[in-house]
Amino acid sequence: MKHHLGLTIDTNLLKEIEELRGREKRSTFIEHLILLGLKTYKTENRSIIENQKAHCLSNDVSRTA
């Protein structure tokens, strides 16, 4: 299932996306870029993400006790 998302971006960023995407649909290309960015972010910030998950789990346990 896909969801519609409104997004405001810098003019120069849009121009760069337009130059790179070629004949690809804009939404498909931007979705691809976001997936690449998320993968990179998760790889580079693995310890931060694990700490956030641990913190969320400890909050869930304290709420149910």
Q: SS3 sequence, the chain?
A: CCCCCCCCCCHHHHHHHHHHHCCCCHHHHHHHHHHHHHHHHHHHCHHHHHHHHHHHHHHHHHHHC
Q: Cα-flanking dihedrals φ and ψ of residue 14, to 5°? A: -60, -40
Terminal C-alpha separation, the chain: 35
Residue 21 has what pLDDT?
96
Can you give the pLDDT at residue 28?
95
Q: Where do the structural domains in the chain lie, given as residue ranges?
A: 24-64
> What is the per-residue pLDDT for 55?
82
The tens-digit pLDDT sequence of the chain (65 residues) is 999 999 999 999 999 999 999 999 999 999 999 999 999 999 988 888 888 888 887 777 666 65
